[in-house]
Structure 1
Amino acid sequence: MKKKKYGKIFIIPTPIGNIYDITYRSIQVLKKIDYIAAENYKKIKKILNKFNISKPIISFNQHNEFNKIQKIFNKIEKKKNIALVSDAGTPTINDPGFCLIRECHQKKIKVIPLPGACSAITALSASGIPSNKFCFEGFLPSKEIKRKKILNLLKYEPRTIIFYETPHRIINSLQNIVEILGKKRKITLAKELTKSWESIIFDTAENILYKYKNNKLICKGEIVLILSGYKNLEKKIISKKVKYILSILKKFLPKNKISVIISKMYNIKKQYIYKYLVNKTKK
């Protein structure tokens, strides 16, 4: 029995600012595919016009994603090739498309990703903050209670942390970062990347917040925040002697009581001791 043939879906990154950042391969694929599933009609149309490409466009965004998946599959089943493009950057990275791609894998439809622009990676490369290990957290929540909850969960994250942020929320988010992660936490703030007015600032959270509050920075444009990870200070603070005492006490007492006792005896912050004990238990 012959295997049924389907079309393919191509994941095509689009420029995050400078239109000439689109790759030559992306242009060639856009010329050859049958349909484009686009998050933003105006933006993809601008790119198509720039490179003299004319293709039918299917609207595909966060509001209609689930309703359009079947329409796209119907075309793929008719051996039509589809290009998935987002508003800007690499599709599915904090943009619509994840569910579509997952369904493609389940239906054995070939998915072909193309390399290209991504604001998180572009900012990270220019951040001056370690990039060998990092976590991407997308946009911080708009409501302060939820935003603080996320930041508290990431307080002791040792890897570099990447956030997206909007101009109208940046000051509130920076205030929460200073409050929860500390005013001396190193941050690189990258704004309007690849555009002629791009800005990349490396400083402490406290200083960047000060610049925004005093109108030394313009609250406009798309923002990427790169935060340095938590420094594991307890490794330096907790001596071999203290570690030996902890290894004995943990057999008889709960972690919170041990933390209080050792904190008073050796003038070490309770949270360092408690975190050390938790990490030891996991191993």
Structure 2
Amino acid sequence: MTQQHSGAAGSLFIVATPIGNLDDISQRVLQVLREVAWVAAEDTRHSGKLLSHFNISARFLSLHDHNEKQRAASLLQKLQAGESVALVSDAGTPLISDPGYSLVRLCRDAGVKIVPIPGPCALIAALCCAGLPTDKFHFIGFLPAKSGQRQQVLSDIPANVGTLITYEAARRVKDTLADVAVVFGDERELVLAKEISKTFEHFCHGTAQSITAWLEEDPQRCQGEMVLMIAPPADKPDDDIHPAAQKTLKLLMSELPLKKAAALTAEIHGEKKNALYKLGLSWDLAQE
């Protein structure tokens, strides 16, 4: 691993950095950051402090949401000239709700070698400690800022995708919990992880209502980085869904996509859309 490759393109390293505790940095990350020609950073000031802590000097270029497409082209030129580049975000793994997609796509299409340097990722760290199902999960990223749009996004997610994981800003977390209760009901099991790997790390398990109450007990709890996890719906036996609703669902499925059929059946009979969707999906799978 060197800065220059005689006659060959450099490598693009996708480098995961600590999300809080600096002791989580790996020796491989430190080696890469010392040896690359350039560090492409979401915030050069923030990443500069990280490298300074480890006595690493680097040439920085900014790469963020507002300049990525333009900056990606210049970075590709550097890579094709033989200079290696490390891509870092402010914390955690680049591209996971952070910039980098355009650069990676451009480099892939140009045949540049792309090397993952694994490390911290908030969604994985949160999920493995939450006590929720991990065999299937669906990462939503950041939900929309407006309540109506949040509810629409949540409503559009099928019931069979497993545990839902979203990042949320502290200033919006209570509003998001309220929308989760509207869409999934207040009985749905949730886990809120905050400040992972930091001094005030905490996992709060409960319903939307009980977690909101916990947050309101102390205003400082509504601070910091947060990961919200939503458990899959509890299995509902077919006989818990009214026979008339099952009949309607079967009729509509013969003419409409399952998602639309479940939504219409829910509206007609007052059943839960996700339960109807899951039931219809089980019928489809049984016929395969």
Place the TM-score, normalised by the shorter chain, in its bin: 0.7 to 0.9
Query: Could you tell me how far 1:43 is from its partner in structure 2?
Result: 1.9
Query: What's the counterpart of residue 29 of structure 2?
Result: 26
Identity %: 34
Q: For the structure 1 residues 73 and 218, does the alpha-carbon distance in structure 2 shift closer, same or farther, using more than 3 Å as the test?
A: same
Q: For the structure 1 residues 237 and 215, does the alpha-carbon distance in structure 2 shift closer, same or farther, using more than 3 Å as the test?
A: same
User: Are residues 1:211 and 2:219 paired?
Assistant: no
Letter in 1 for 2:16: P
SS in 2 for 1:225: strand
SS in 1 for 2:192: strand
1:199-238 Cα offsets, whole Å, 9 max, x none, are: 1111122210222244476210010011101223144636
Is contact 1:158–1:230 with CA below 8 Å preserved after alignment? no
Query: What's the counterpart of residue 106 of structure 1?
Result: 109
Tell me which stretches of 4 or more aligned residues in structure 1 moved more than 3 Å.
Answer: 213-217, 234-239, 253-256, 268-275
Query: Could you tell me how far 1:32 is from its partner in structure 2?
Result: 0.9
- 2: CA distance between counterparts of 1:24 and 1:275? 46
- 2: CA distance between counterparts of 1:189 and 1:274? 26
Query: What's the counterpart of residue 172 of structure 1?
Result: 175
Letter in 1 for 2:196: L
- What is the number of equivalent residue pairs in this alignment? 270
Q: Structure 2 length as normaliser, TM-score?
A: 0.84
Query: What's the counterpart of residue 119 of structure 2?
Result: 116
Q: For the structure 1 residues 110 and 219, does the alpha-carbon distance in structure 2 shift closer, same or farther, using more than 3 Å as the test?
A: same
Letter in 1 for 2:24: D
User: Are residues 1:10 and 2:43 paired?
Assistant: no
Query: What's the counterpart of residue 145 of structure 1?
Result: 148
SS in 1 for 2:221: coil
User: Are residues 1:75 and 2:96 paired?
Assistant: no
- 2: CA distance between counterparts of 1:23 and 1:59? 23
User: Are residues 1:45 and 2:38 paired?
Assistant: no
- 1: CA distance between counterparts of 2:188 and 2:87? 38
Q: Which runs of 5+ in 1 are unaligned?
A: none
Paired residues for 1:161-240 under 5 Å:
161-215=164-218, 218-235=221-238, 237=240
1:65-89 Cα offsets, whole Å, 9 max, x none, are: 1110111011111100000000100
Is contact 1:123–1:193 with CA below 8 Å preserved after alignment? yes
Q: For the structure 1 residues 122 and 246, does the alpha-carbon distance in structure 2 shift closer, same or farther, using more than 3 Å as the test?
A: same
Letter in 1 for 2:66: H
- 1: CA distance between counterparts of 2:272 and 2:57? 64
SS in 2 for 1:10: strand
Of the two, which has the highest radius of gyration?
1
Query: Could you tell me how far 1:20 is from its partner in structure 2?
Result: 1.4
SS in 2 for 1:169: helix
Q: Structure 1 length as normaliser, TM-score?
A: 0.85
- 2: CA distance between counterparts of 1:48 and 1:108? 29
- 2: CA distance between counterparts of 1:99 and 1:270? 39
Is contact 2:151–2:179 with CA below 8 Å preserved after alignment? yes
Query: What's the counterpart of residue 98 of structure 2?
Result: 95
SS in 2 for 1:230: coil
Query: What's the counterpart of residue 258 of structure 2?
Result: none
Task: Say what the alpha-carbon RMSD is for the aligned residues.
Answer: 3.0
- 2: CA distance between counterparts of 1:6 and 1:177? 48
Q: Between 36-45 and 104-113, report the one with greater CA deviation.
A: 36-45
- 1: CA distance between counterparts of 2:276 and 2:88? 48
